[in-house]
Amino acid sequence: MAEFSRISIDQAHAALADDEDVAIVDLRDAMSYKARCIAGAINLNNDNVRNFLAATPRDRTVIVYCYHGNSSLNAAQFLVQQGFTTVQSVDGGFEAWHQRYPQD
Protein backbone atom coordinates (compact mmCIF):
# COMPACT_ATOMS: atom_id res chain seq x y z
CA MET A 1 0.00 0.00 0.00
CA ALA A 2 1.20 3.50 -0.81
CA GLU A 3 2.06 5.92 1.96
CA PHE A 4 1.76 9.66 2.17
CA SER A 5 4.79 11.85 2.72
CA ARG A 6 5.35 14.91 4.86
CA ILE A 7 6.70 17.98 3.12
CA SER A 8 7.86 21.38 4.26
CA ILE A 9 6.06 24.57 3.36
CA ASP A 10 8.94 25.42 1.01
CA GLN A 11 8.57 22.06 -0.77
CA ALA A 12 4.82 22.59 -1.05
CA HIS A 13 5.32 26.11 -2.38
CA ALA A 14 7.76 24.83 -5.01
CA ALA A 15 5.46 21.96 -6.00
CA LEU A 16 2.55 24.34 -6.54
CA ALA A 17 4.73 26.69 -8.58
CA ASP A 18 6.13 23.86 -10.74
CA ASP A 19 3.06 21.72 -11.38
CA GLU A 20 -0.34 23.08 -12.38
CA ASP A 21 -1.96 19.67 -11.92
CA VAL A 22 -1.50 19.49 -8.15
CA ALA A 23 -4.66 19.40 -6.05
CA ILE A 24 -4.19 21.54 -2.93
CA VAL A 25 -6.65 20.63 -0.17
CA ASP A 26 -7.50 22.86 2.80
CA LEU A 27 -8.98 21.03 5.79
CA ARG A 28 -9.67 24.07 7.94
CA ASP A 29 -13.17 25.27 8.77
CA ALA A 30 -15.13 27.18 6.13
CA MET A 31 -14.74 30.58 7.81
CA SER A 32 -10.95 30.28 7.99
CA TYR A 33 -10.83 29.07 4.39
CA LYS A 34 -12.96 31.99 3.19
CA ALA A 35 -10.87 34.49 5.16
CA ARG A 36 -7.61 33.30 3.59
CA CYS A 37 -6.30 30.20 1.90
CA ILE A 38 -3.52 29.04 -0.38
CA ALA A 39 -4.36 30.02 -3.95
CA GLY A 40 -6.29 27.31 -5.74
CA ALA A 41 -7.07 25.33 -2.58
CA ILE A 42 -10.20 23.25 -2.27
CA ASN A 43 -11.88 23.38 1.14
CA LEU A 44 -12.44 19.67 1.75
CA ASN A 45 -15.02 18.68 4.33
CA ASN A 46 -17.55 15.96 5.06
CA ASP A 47 -20.08 17.60 2.72
CA ASN A 48 -17.90 17.52 -0.40
CA VAL A 49 -15.42 14.68 0.14
CA ARG A 50 -17.45 12.25 -1.97
CA ASN A 51 -17.48 14.69 -4.89
CA PHE A 52 -13.73 15.25 -4.53
CA LEU A 53 -13.09 11.51 -4.54
CA ALA A 54 -15.30 11.02 -7.61
CA ALA A 55 -13.80 13.92 -9.58
CA THR A 56 -10.08 13.63 -8.79
CA PRO A 57 -7.87 11.16 -10.68
CA ARG A 58 -6.02 8.86 -8.30
CA ASP A 59 -2.68 9.61 -9.99
CA ARG A 60 -3.00 13.35 -9.37
CA THR A 61 -0.68 14.69 -6.66
CA VAL A 62 -2.68 15.87 -3.64
CA ILE A 63 -1.16 18.26 -1.10
CA VAL A 64 -3.11 18.50 2.15
CA TYR A 65 -2.89 21.19 4.82
CA CYS A 66 -4.73 22.14 7.99
CA TYR A 67 -4.05 24.74 10.67
CA HIS A 68 -0.76 23.42 12.08
CA GLY A 69 0.00 20.22 10.18
CA ASN A 70 -1.58 17.69 12.55
CA SER A 71 -5.07 16.95 11.18
CA SER A 72 -3.68 16.80 7.68
CA LEU A 73 -1.77 13.64 8.61
CA ASN A 74 -5.00 11.70 9.13
CA ALA A 75 -6.57 13.16 6.01
CA ALA A 76 -3.49 12.27 3.96
CA GLN A 77 -3.70 8.69 5.20
CA PHE A 78 -7.40 8.58 4.32
CA LEU A 79 -6.66 9.75 0.77
CA VAL A 80 -3.98 7.08 0.37
CA GLN A 81 -6.51 4.49 1.53
CA GLN A 82 -8.86 5.80 -1.18
CA GLY A 83 -6.25 4.95 -3.82
CA PHE A 84 -4.37 8.20 -4.34
CA THR A 85 -0.78 7.41 -5.21
CA THR A 86 0.95 10.68 -4.31
CA VAL A 87 -0.34 12.43 -1.19
CA GLN A 88 1.65 14.96 0.80
CA SER A 89 0.91 16.59 4.15
CA VAL A 90 2.32 20.07 4.77
CA ASP A 91 4.31 20.29 8.01
CA GLY A 92 3.34 23.39 9.96
CA GLY A 93 0.07 23.81 8.09
CA PHE A 94 -1.45 27.09 7.01
CA GLU A 95 -0.11 29.01 9.99
CA ALA A 96 3.49 28.25 8.99
CA TRP A 97 2.66 28.88 5.33
CA HIS A 98 1.19 32.29 6.12
CA GLN A 99 4.24 33.27 8.19
CA ARG A 100 6.63 32.21 5.43
CA TYR A 101 4.57 33.41 2.45
CA PRO A 102 2.31 36.20 3.76
CA GLN A 103 1.54 37.49 0.26
CA ASP A 104 0.42 34.11 -1.13
User: Which residue out of 37, 64, 66, 76 is catalytically annotated?
Assistant: 66
- Cα 100 to Cα 14, 28, 34, 64, 103: the distances in Å are 13, 18, 20, 17, 9
User: 37 catalytic, yes or no?
Assistant: no
Where does residue 64 fall: left (phi above 0), alpha (psi -120 to 50 degrees), or beta otherwise? beta
DSSP state of 40: T
Spatial distance between the Cα atoms of 51 and 53, rounded to a whole number of angstroms: 5
Residues annotated as catalytic (active site), given as ranges? 66
